[in-house]
Amino acid sequence: MDFKHIDELRNKLKSLRPLNEAELERLREEFMIENTYNSNAIEGNSLTLRETALILQQGVTIEGKHVREHLEVIGHKDAFYYMIELADTKTPLTERVIKELHSLVLMNDAKNKGIYRSVEVAIVGAVHTLTPPYLIHEQMEALLNEYKNMKQDRHVIEAVTEFHLRFEGIHPFIDGNGRTGRLKNGEG
C-alpha cells in the first residue's frame, strides 16, 4: 500500500506548527470527545455525542442513562489522556501499559480491570477462535516483541493496523478489548 499521500499530509501539518498551547488543547479536547463518543458507541453505549460532551466538559449526569455509560465515558477520557502522556514521553508499549490503559477504560469493573481473562470467550459471528486463556500472556509478549520490528520495517499505519488486528484476535480481556485497542494505537 502506498502511504505517500498520508505522509505528505503529515508533513503539511508539521509545517503549520507550532500551535500555541490554547489551540493545541482545544484540538486535543475536541478529538478526545469525538474519539470517546465513537469508541463507546461501537461498544453499545447509548450516549449521544452531545451528551458525551456535556459529561466531559461540564461534569453533568444525563437523566435516564445508566451510571455504567457515564463511567465508560469518564474512563475512556482518563485513558485517552494517559495515552497522550505516554506518547509525549515516548514510553514504549508494554503489557504493563496495556493493562494500565485497560484499567482506566474498565474503571467500573474492579474485578476485571487490567487483568487478562481466565475463561474462554467467543465473539458472536466471528470467523476464528480467540486465544485460549492459558496462551494470552505468551501471545501478548510475542506480539509486543514483533511490534518493535513492525514499526521499523513498515509504515507506522501498517504496523499499528497489524498490531490492532492481532491484539483483537488475542482478545486478552473479558471486556474492553476494543476500547483499549483503539486507544493504544495512539502509541507511536
Amino acid at 24: L
Residues 6+ apart with CB under 8 A from 171: 117, 121, 123, 130, 131, 177
Annotation says 171 is catalytic: yes
- pLDDT, residue 185, reads 59
Cα–Cα distance measured from residue 51 to residue 53, given in angstroms and rounded to the nearest whole number: 5
| Residue the block writes with cell 452531545 | 50
- pLDDT, residue 68, reads 94
Cα–Cα distance measured from residue 136 to residue 148, given in angstroms and rounded to the nearest whole number: 19
In this structure, what is the dihedral angle of CA atoms 45, 185, 128, 152, given to the nearest 10 degrees?
170
- pLDDT, residue 24, reads 87
Cα–Cα distance measured from residue 176 to residue 167, given in angstroms and rounded to the nearest whole number: 12
- pLDDT, residue 18, reads 83
pTM of the model: 0.87
Indicate which residue of 70, 76, 102, 171 is catalytic.
171
Q: Name the stretches of the chain with pLDDT < 50.
A: 188
- pLDDT, residue 188, reads 42
- pLDDT, residue 186, reads 53
- pLDDT, residue 5, reads 86
